Structure formats: structure tokens, C-alpha cells
Structure 1
Amino acid sequence: MHSKTDVKTLIIKIGSSILSGNDLGLNSARIASLVYHIAKLKQTIPNIVIVSSGAVASGFKLLGFPSRPKDIVDKQASAAVGQARLIWTYEQAFAQYNINVAQVLLTKDDLSNRKRYLHARSALKRLLELGVIPIINENDTIIVDELKYIESFGDNDNLGALVAGIVDGDLLLILSDVDGLYTADPSKDKNAEIIHKVEYINDDIMDSAGGSISSVGTGGMKSKIQAAKKALEAGCEVAIIRGMEPENIEKFFKEDNIGTYFYQSVSSIKKRKFWIGYAAIPKGAVIIDNGADNALLNNKSLLAKGIININGKFQAGAVVSIINNNREIARGKIRYSSADLLKIMGKASSEIYDILGYKISDEVIHKDDLLLI
């Protein structure tokens, strides 16, 4: 486990419920307090990135909506207006401490493209070198995230995990409207106890995660645990703390009983595998049998013999989902097109050349191009 004093690159994810006031607009006083404590942290932590929700929550009141709109187009309009107000509020607050900020709006499609992913990495790294705090949000004006559109991050918890991987983060600090992860839903179970440290994210930990109690945001505790798992695989430790009291940001680095701390217990994965597993958008799916599933779990490559069906049309080099028993178990970069896979699935590797007239490799997906999820 890293020492908290060793953190050099910190990602702070701030949810909509933290940024909103009682009138469901921006809570300027709380934002000012958040910025004050973040500015103090920057005196000892050189690289800080903020992943901020709040565009829709900031904008819908400005447009005259009485509550967060349900219509997708109204949400997009609210995000467009609200993002401008949100970044202006951050800019004014950080200016008091002579800290420059940068607005970065991303979509899943941006990061799914390997070249653009690397360009985003270079740009963010350079901003950090220049002492700037990048403020990142999903481009909600063009993304239909509430419909679970495939090209959405789903919520900013998962975006925070991806950003942690992009910038080689040491710690992802998720500010929530609850104190951390509990053994049960504290609003329903008076005996629920907070879990201060988590070494392994297993089924019991996932079962402890309840739904969102906020009408403002979209990410519940389960999404935060999923994000923690991704960030840990990138080598970035994670903490979930209550952000309603901004002083908790500093307290976390000084005390052991603030929030829930997820620390690294296994080796991090290679950056390329992280991109394959979590940033790239799958172009299709290969359905595998139980034997192939067991092979992948034992760090083996995927062979044509273990494939029983194909979903979608894709070219060689695409990232695809790997499914067994109706459950996605992995993602990988495929070496054969869907058309060719339909010809060789279920066949031995020794038969590939005779069937196709060429052979790239014995492996359909090499283990170095595959990530279990």
C-alpha cells in the first residue's frame, strides 16, 4: 500500500450532489470551500486533476426547469448552459490562489480511438507539467448517458477511473454524499458499519454497494466500486469520502478513519491492456465455451476451437467482448475478422491455413491483448 504522503498525482472526482445547493443550482459556497482545500493540497501534491460532474445540475435552473429534466434534449441543453457556468465558477475560485484551470470535455469515442487516447494523455500530462489543474467532464451535450448508450462512460466515477489510468494517477479520491462504503445500506440498516479499508474487491464488497440516494447525480455506490476496481488495475489507489464537508479532503491525508480506502494488493496491468479493457468500445463479441473460459482464467490465449458463435461485424484488429454463459468475462484485440472467424470457429489452429488460405497466428486473441473484466 502506498503512503498517502507519497501521492504525486491525485485525481479528485466531484459528484453533482456535492456541487448543488438546496435549490439544485450550484452551491457556490461549497465550491469555494472545495477549491480552498484543493489549493492547499496542491502545495504538497504537484499534479491534481478534477473530474467534475454538475453541468446538467448547474444548467437546468438557469433554463427555467423546476427540476432536473427527464427529456434527453432538455438534459443536453442544460449541460451546454451549465458547463459554461460550472467552469467559470471553478476558474474564479482557483484564481484567488493563482492556479490556472483547463476545461477538458471527453466522450467515450475520444478514448476508444487509440491515437486520440494517446493525444489526450499527452495533453493532460503537459497541462500538469505547467501547473494547471485540468477539470474534466463528459461532453453531456452530445452523449445520451442516461439511455446507457454504448459510447457513454455511464457516469463520472468510471470516467475518473479512466483518467487515473491515462495520467498514471497515484490516488483517485471520490467525493460522495455518503461517508464511504458500508456493510449495508445505512439508510435502511441501523447496524450498518463503515468499511475503512478494502484490499480485495470481491462479491461481498459488491453486495455491500447500494443504489444512489441522490436525485441530482447518476452514479451510485456500485458504480464507485466498479470504478475503484478499474483504477486499482491501473495501479491507482482509491478512496471514497464524504464531500459535503470539504475539509474531509485534507483530513483524509492526515487521519485513518476518513472514508473507505481501496489499496493495491495485486500488480497493475499494462497501459495497453487497460485501454483494451476499459477505454476501447467493443465492435462486436465472440461467444466461447466453458473450456475456453477456463483457459482464459489460467492466463491462456483464445483459440478458434473455443469459439462457438460471433456477434456483429468487425475487422481484424478490433476490440471485442468475450462472452461465456451470457456474461462478459473479458475484452481483447482480435486477430481475425468476423467473416473469417465464422469459417474457423470451433476448428483446431492447425486447420486455419487450409480453411482461409492464410494464417496470422494460432491465437485468435493473444493473452497479451486480452483483459479479464
Structure 2
Amino acid sequence: MEMSFAVRPQVREMLERVKAMIRDEVIPLEAAYHAEIDTGDRWQFTARQTEILEGLKEKARAAELWNFWLTDSARGLGLSTVEYAHFAEEMGRTPLGAEVFNCSAPDTGNMEVFERYGSDAMKDRWLTPLLAGEIRSAYLMTEPDVASSDPTNLEMICKRDGDAYVLDGEKWWASGAGDPRCKVYIVMVRTGGEDLPRHKRHAMIVVPADTPGIEVLRPMMVYGQDDAPHGHMHIRFTKVRVPVENMLLGEGRGFEIAQGRLGPGRIHHCMRAIGQAEAALELLCRRSLDREAFGKPLAQLGANYDIIAEARMEIEMARLLCLKAAWMMDQGDARAAAPWISQIKVIAPRVALKVIDEAVQMHGGQGISQDTPLARAWTHQRTLRLADGPDAVHRRQVARAELARYTQRAV
């Protein structure tokens, strides 16, 4: 089958409008939005933040530039994964980009779960306001006391008690759970014992964020930053009762849902990473031409030509790999796409980190300060090397697939 990364003409027109809105309207407001975080309660939105964010979202909705991520749904715009990847790259250029167009993680993955596996009642209560950008959500998977890179280790207790399930345990790195607009969690829990196969012991359950027994213990710090008002929270569940109808698909089917949720999301993360790398390279180049030292523009000093050339080449290679992973996803065989998704999940953050670091170096002390977006971008990309599976796990999957070509079974 011929592989194509082409974008249809009508989609290209939408993409150009998104590019223009990000360049002309979103990025110019980015600094003002982030400056508001330190003016009051870090976990509440100020009037100015709300004005900026909701104003941009309303413009995007009015222009029908909304919910691009719905690539396999009658509710969406009919984009392929390859086409959406181009949008994700553009949105990745600014921290506000994804939310402005209602394409933020973890909401996109959670909305996919609700659409594919949720009941009509769940769709009415949670999916509809999420699609409208009226509320936010969180996905609770990792736990502090087990090696969550192997999710079969997850231990949060979920026991049936009459017409309810009772949850006990702790979750951390619940991204987005600090947001005051976060109203619902999708939680990975353990429902089966040692007598069941390891991948049949877990389930996913929907938990309203205001359910009694839920305690937010603390925001997790990312290199000393709390990422307010989004946050990555450490949460304790103590005898939290959830109606049985909140179980998704049924006991023991958590991994089935997880694979449907995480595959596309990893591609989205990676294309946003490429967008951040492009933004960093632009800052690097502009700085190298605008500043002089020793009587020359910085671009002409040291190995800066080589640094800029290497950054361009590595971004192009990463983009092509990501587009191939997206194309593989579009073919409808998630198992065949998985090794390609693992490859890009390793490569994209690695390339983005390298380019961002070179941009920091070009800016000198300013590069690690609050005066550029580079420090925030670097910490985000370093976090991405752990989110949705650490590099080592993905490399293992790539190696298993490669070795399987030469054996009768996976190694």
C-alpha cells in the first residue's frame, strides 16, 4: 500500500487558519496568561486568565477550529491521524495551543474513552461538556508504591459492595487534577486476584472529582515547579464509593481500554513535542542573528552553524517518523502500529530536549529564566520521557518487535 503523509486541500486551509491564529493571537497572549499565575491563589484562575483563555476558545469555536483530535468519530471533522498530526505540531508551539482548540491531554484520551466505551448516561454527563470545553478531566493510573512502568503492578483496591464499588489507595501524577475545572477522573483500579492472568486483573472506573473520600494530598513538583493551575496531583482514596454503573466495560478489561486510549495520545504528545522543537529552533536562530559577541553575530561563532544544521535535520527526521507512526495507526491495526508509536515516543522528546537545550545555551542566562518559554518547555519535554511509558519500556517494545522478525515467537 502506498504510504502518504498528504493533507487534503480543505484540511490544509483549516491548518493554515490554525497556524495564523496561534501566531497572531495565541502566542502574543502567552506571557500575560502565565504572569497571572503568581498574582493570587495559584490553583484558581484569575479574571484575566479566564478572559484570555475563554476568549481564545470562543474564537476557535466560532471559526469551527475545534476538536480536531476526533479522528475516528462522527462528532469530529473527519481528519486522519496523519492530518491531525500536523495540527498537533502547530498547537505544540505554545503551552496554550492545545486547550484553545479543545485538544488538551488528558481530556482527549478521556473523551475517546467516554465515546468508545461509556454509557449514554456517561456521555451526557461527562462527554458533552468535555467536547464543549466547559470542564476538564484527569486520568489516574500511576501509583507511588509500585513500579508503574509495568501497569500490571497497579494495586488500587476496587471491591464490589452491593450496588457500589469501593476504592482504597493512592494515585499520583494525576495531570490536570489541580485545575478547578476538573470534574471527573478515569481511574485504573485492580478488580481481580492472583488467580487471573496479569492483564485481566484491572479495570477502569469513572469517579466524579467531588466524591466523598477523595483527598488531594499535594501537587507534585516538576523540577521545583508545581505547574499550577493545571497540576500533577497526589491523591488518596479512602473508602470512596462509586456506583457499579461507573465501571467501563466491566471488571478485568482495563488494559483493553488503555491500549485504545494511549496509542493515539502518544502520537499527539510527540507531534506537539516537534512543535516545541520548531519553536525553540526559531528562538535559537533569531537570537543567533540579533546578538553579537566578539564583533560578530552569535551565529558565526563557534560551532553554531553546525548546531543549527543538526537541529533542523533531527527535527525533520523525527517528524517523518511520527507521520509514519500516524499512518500506521490509520491503517487500523493497532498492534502493527505499536512499535512505530514506541519509536517516536522515544525519539520526539529526545530531539525536542536537544533543540531546546541548544536554544537555552544560545540565550545564555536568559534562557534559564522566566523571560523566555524555554525553561518551561524543557521541563515539559523531560517529563514526557516518563509520561505514557518511560523510554526503556518503549525501547524494549521496539527490540521485541525487531527480534520477532528472526524468531518463531516474540523474545
TM-score normalised to structure 2 length: 0.26
Bigger fraction of residues in helix = 2
Provide TM-score, normalisation by structure 1. Answer: 0.27
